[in-house]
Amino acid sequence: MHFSNPFRATLLIAAGIQGVYSQQTAWGQYYSQCLPGTASSSTGATTPGTIAPGTPTTTVSATTTGVASYPGSTLQSGYYWVRAVESPNFHSYLQASSTAKPGTALLADRSTAGQYQIVSGQLVELIAPNNFLYANVQPPANSSAVKLSMTFNTTQNTFGTFAFSGDAVTWSVASISRPNLSAWLVCGAQELWINLGSYAYLTPAGCVDETIHYFNGATVD
C-alpha cells in the first residue's frame, strides 16, 4: 500500500507522542477508570486529539522481537488499545473480525486486541508497517435508525469523524444530532455499534450500552 509523504509524516509525529497520559473520570455514577503506565517519552508532546492531518505510518519496534505476528502483544509507539470499561464487557477490546482483516468491528477478548490511533478523523488500526485498516461507519437506512454499524476496511471512512474526548472515543457527523457522542452499543455476537440515542436509555433489544476508551499500557490487562 502506498502513502504520500505528508500522510507518512503525520504518524511519525504521532509515534513521537510521549509523556504520561492521565485518565479522566467519565460518565458520573457509572464508573471511573485509571490508566496505568506511561507513554513513550520524547520532546514535543501532544494529546491524541491534536494530531495534525496526514497518513498513518510506523516503524517496526524492537519490542516485537519473538512475537509471532505484527504488531504483537506489546503496544507499538504512537498507538493505543481501545476497550470498554462497563459490565458486561469490562476490558473487552476493540478489534476486527477476523483478526487484523477487513470485517465487523467487535469488542472481544484481549488476546486478539487491535492497536489504534485517530488521524484526521479516521480511526486507524495498525496491521503491519505501512499497512492499516480504517473504521467505516454505515450511514442510516432511514430517519428511524437508532444505531449504526461499523466495520474495518482497507478504504478510509467517508461518513462522519472520529475523535478522542479525554480518553473516550467519539464519533460525530453533521447530518445527525446525537445526545452523547461517546455512546456505543454492543449487540449480538459482540458487534460494536454507534448508539444514536441516549446512553442507557431505551437501549435496543439485544444490546448493552458501552463507552470505549484508549488505554496506553504496554500490554492489555
Grid cell at residue 78: 504512537
Residue 8 scores a pLDDT above 60: no
Fold designation for 5-58+78-215: Trefoil (Acidic Fibroblast Growth Factor, subunit A) (2.80.10)
Q: How far apart are CA 175 and CA 141, in angstroms?
A: 13
Q: How far apart are CA 5 and CA 87, in angstroms?
A: 43
pTM: 0.73
If you ran DSSP here, which 8-state letter would residue 84 be given? Answer: E
Q: How far apart are CA 49 and CA 119, in angstroms?
A: 9
Of the pLDDT bands very low, low, confident and very high (cuts 50, 70, 90), residue 217 is very high
Average of pLDDT values for 42-57? Answer: 44
Q: How far apart are CA 49 and CA 163, in angstroms?
A: 6
**Do 193 and 151 form a contact (C-beta atoms < 8 A)?**
no
* pLDDT tens per residue across span 50-94: 444 455 655 434 333 333 488 999 999 999 999 999 999 999 999
Cβ atoms < 10 Å from Cβ of 185 = 23
Share of the chain above pLDDT 90, in %: 67
* pLDDT tens per residue across span 88-140: 999 999 999 999 999 999 999 999 999 999 999 999 999 999 999 999 999 99
Domain ranges of the chain: 5-58+78-215
Of the pLDDT bands very low, low, confident and very high (cuts 50, 70, 90), residue 198 is very high
